[in-house]
Structure 1
Amino acid sequence: MKKASLLWPFPVLLVASWLAACLPAGGGADGGFDAGRADGATDNDKRPGPAWRVGSAETFELATWNIRNFPSDSSTTTRVAELIRQMDIDLLGVEEIADSDIFERLLAGLDGFEAVLSPHEYRPGEYQKTGFVFRSSLLRLREWHLLFLSESYVFPRPPLEAEFYLSGPDGSEVVLWVIVVHLKAELGEENEARRRSACEKLAQHVEELQAQGVDNVVVLGDFNDELDDPAADNVFTSFTNHPDQFRFATAPLAGREYSFVPYHVLIDHLLFSEGLFTWLDRGSTGVVPLDVEISDYDYLEHVSDHRPVVTVLPW
């Protein structure tokens, strides 16, 4: 694994709009998650802010967001910064960062956050990078690196893996390994086979981490495929055939919610390893329909064709 060293501390700024409609991550379909509140909270417990705020001081939030060839236009940077701040998320995996200089400019306007961005390029000056944006008061980045650098056919964009120290409200620290992915896009048997192979290699990698004593692993990002495909076409069986080791927080949303707006499909996911199951059972996961809730501008034109997907975990 090749070690990288591209870390930008950054302050934060924000002003815009978004909302979440979510189901419990543990698999129940009868409960709900209301944006801006922890489970069981009342309206009086919500922080002031837009209806689409999903974070709070009582919870830890992880999310994935494909920001479609960021930036789409000259207004995107300000709008994305506004949305990140308003969502109030602690750890965000991002995909399709197409201009690292403008991404750095985005981070310069985000107080209390840091970020790490993949150094990968398809060829000089051409790339769709993945990365992390994280709240520095809660998360301390120990190291990060790219995975599967020699597997460009299976991983056209190598997964970015980071080891974080997560500080709880009681001052204790938990080691959290997070991998952000952006798997091969498009339909067709060949592309499906590439995604299936990618999932197999990721599952094996997480198993190797577990064998080394790493208990808490999250794989999140744009998997470019649906969890509820028929078994013959399902690329996720290396995970789903081992429910004692892996759990998709997005599984209860399959067939009910969508993250990729043009085709109304759920292809952005968060996967948790066994060590996090107890915490995950207490949490909620949902899709934030910014394209519907934002009225000040056209989200699909100026920001992205993907909706953020968020898991909220109570402390």
Structure 2
Amino acid sequence: MRPPTIRPLLVALLLSLPCCAERSPLVTDGGEADGRPDTSRPDIGELGGPQGFGDAERPRIDVPSGDAGADPGPELPTGPAPPVTVATWNLRDFSPYGAQESRLDHIAQQLAALDADIIGVQELEAREGSDGSPPQAWDALLDRLPAYEGVHAPWNLQDSVVGLLVRRDTVRVLAAKPIFVGDWWPFPRAPLDATLSVEKPEGTVLLHVVVIHLKAFGDSESLSRRREACTKLAGALGGRGDARYVLVGDFNDSPHDPAPESAFVGTLLGVEPVWTFVTAALPPTTVSSTGGSHEVDGQVIEGGLLDQIVVDETVTDLYPAPVAEVIARPVAEYDAWRAGWSDHFPVILHLTP
């Protein structure tokens, strides 16, 4: 394990920032706020701001809640690229019970079994009645995963947040910050943009991994909000020759939906080579979420493909054949999985040079 770099002045600066992203005062539909914000385009922040370490006993990565200052970011390394695995998993309400969460051991064991270099997670929640201070379920999870260190967006006590786990022996976190902070209508949960250096004997590669959790539900308004989010993600992050973007998370829509019902077509889907929607190559019968159902050629499939992975053209320049897989369970095991793990399955991206 590499020792952390302690930067007291930087930590003090980060701790002086506000603790939570801007959010609507109204909360409805299962924890998602439901008030319409200012429609002007927000500043997404500098991509790749400064980063510090905190707790001396076990390093925790502090994430600024707003723009921490312009940073051009590190130069892209040259030379061969290593194989990389990136996963995403919605942990479902993790957790109002804090360190008493009954699913902790199961979730930690499943995350360790993925053995991914990088894992994006969604639906991280502060313990009920707390202000976000430790101990949280997140802290207890990290204690069970000594091979990983973690970072999450600042706690939002009115909703869940997203986070990231990285292997200590292969990945360095160079920067991490929430983006689209305050642009609540398309982004009820601010995405987390992390600049990561993956370092293996085969080579080194710099990646921007953005963890996303878009608006839920199948009504027309929720679909419109997801479309707006995808439009803004594509516009802000696409076509940048100076960064390699991997977008992962719970997008709450399937890439197999027809165009009139799709949040993705024309923004992140069908726009190769600018973006490659990796999970769209999975069969339409693929399921990453156990909720609801969909129909394929007259067959009713329980669940849906809601968890997605999208990469930009600078990633496919290095890794021309990205492959995604879902670590699913048979339908007969759905109830047990929901009770002991989550209502979503992990999805893994394999990047091979």
Q: Paired residue for 1:118?
A: 153
Q: Distance in 1 between matches of 2:230 and 2:176?
A: 20
Asked whether 1:266 is paired with 2:305, we answer yes
Q: Paired residue for 2:198?
A: 166
Q: Paired residue for 2:276?
A: 247
TM-score, normalisation: structure 1:
0.76
Aligned residues of 2:123 and 2:162 also touching (Cα < 8 A):
yes
Q: Decide whether aligned partners of structure 1 residues 201 and 104 sit closer, same or farther in structure 2, where only a CA change above 3 A counts.
A: same
AA at the equivalent of 2:287: Y
Asked whether 1:235 is paired with 2:263, we answer yes
Which of 89, 95, 107 is 1:65 aligned to? 89
Q: Decide whether aligned partners of structure 1 residues 287 and 165 sit closer, same or farther in structure 2, where only a CA change above 3 A counts.
A: same
Asked whether 1:181 is paired with 2:212, we answer yes
Q: Distance in 1 between matches of 2:111 and 2:53?
A: 19
Q: Decide whether aligned partners of structure 1 residues 235 and 283 sit closer, same or farther in structure 2, where only a CA change above 3 A counts.
A: closer
Q: Decide whether aligned partners of structure 1 residues 206 and 304 sit closer, same or farther in structure 2, where only a CA change above 3 A counts.
A: same
User: 1:262 is paired with a residue of what secondary structure?
Assistant: strand
Q: CA deviation at 1:108?
A: 1.3
Q: CA deviation at 1:72?
A: 7.9
Q: Decide whether aligned partners of structure 1 residues 166 and 293 sit closer, same or farther in structure 2, where only a CA change above 3 A counts.
A: farther
Asked whether 1:155 is paired with 2:211, we answer no
Which of 301, 311, 314 is 2:339 aligned to? 301
Q: CA deviation at 1:173?
A: 2.1
User: 2:259 is paired with a residue of what secondary structure?
Assistant: coil
Q: CA deviation at 1:259?
A: 0.6
Aligned residues of 1:4 and 1:119 also touching (Cα < 8 A):
no
Q: Paired residue for 2:6?
A: none
Q: Paired residue for 2:72?
A: none
Q: Distance in 2 between matches of 1:4 and 1:221?
A: 24
Aligned residues of 2:238 and 2:312 also touching (Cα < 8 A):
no
Q: Distance in 2 between matches of 1:4 and 1:256?
A: 42
Q: Distance in 2 between matches of 1:268 and 1:7?
A: 30
User: 2:284 is paired with a residue of what secondary structure?
Assistant: coil
AA at the equivalent of 1:271: V
Asked whether 1:276 is paired with 2:315, we answer yes
Q: Decide whether aligned partners of structure 1 residues 4 and 266 sit closer, same or farther in structure 2, where only a CA change above 3 A counts.
A: farther
- When Rg is computed on C-alpha atoms for both structures, the one with the higher figure is 2
AA at the equivalent of 2:312: S
Question: How many pairs were matched up?
Answer: 261
AA at the equivalent of 2:94: F
Q: Distance in 2 between matches of 1:308 and 1:178?
A: 16
Q: Paired residue for 2:253?
A: 225
TM-score, normalisation: structure 2:
0.68
Aligned CA-pair RMSD: 2.6
Q: Deviations over 1:135-193 (max 9, x none)?
A: 011110011111111211110001110000111323x3211001000000001111000
AA at the equivalent of 2:327: V
AA at the equivalent of 1:68: R
Q: Distance in 2 between matches of 1:266 and 1:97?
A: 21
AA at the equivalent of 1:244: P
Q: Paired residue for 2:31?
A: none
Q: Distance in 2 between matches of 1:194 and 1:90?
A: 31
Q: Decide whether aligned partners of structure 1 residues 6 and 152 sit closer, same or farther in structure 2, where only a CA change above 3 A counts.
A: farther
Q: Deviations over 1:290-312 (max 9, x none)?
A: 466979x9221122110111112
Aligned residues of 2:161 and 2:190 also touching (Cα < 8 A):
no
Asked whether 1:144 is paired with 2:176, we answer yes
Which residues of 2 match residues 191-202 of structure 1 at below 5 A?
191-202=222-233
5+ residue gaps, structure 1: 12-57
Q: Decide whether aligned partners of structure 1 residues 222 and 102 sit closer, same or farther in structure 2, where only a CA change above 3 A counts.
A: same
Q: CA deviation at 1:114?
A: 0.7
5+ residue gaps, structure 2: 1-44, 60-81, 127-131, 293-302
AA at the equivalent of 2:307: D
AA at the equivalent of 1:260: S
Aligned residues of 2:238 and 2:275 also touching (Cα < 8 A):
no
Q: Decide whether aligned partners of structure 1 residues 195 and 6 sit closer, same or farther in structure 2, where only a CA change above 3 A counts.
A: farther
Q: Distance in 2 between matches of 1:59 and 1:72?
A: 36
